[in-house]
Amino acid sequence: MLDCIHEATYVEKVKWKTWSGEQATGAGTYVSNDCGGAPCKKPQRWKVTVVLSDPVETPEGIVFSSATTY
Give me the residue spans of the domains in the chain: 2-69
Burial code of 6-38, b = ≥16 C-beta within 10 A, e = fewer? eeebbbeebeeeeeeeeebbbebebbebeeeee
pLDDT in tens, 27-64: 999 998 877 767 778 888 999 999 999 999 999 999 99
pLDDT band of 2, cuts 50, 70, 90: low
The pLDDT score that the predictor gives to residue 22 is: 96
User: For residue range 10-27, what is the model confidence (pLDDT) as tens digits?
Assistant: 899 999 999 999 999 999
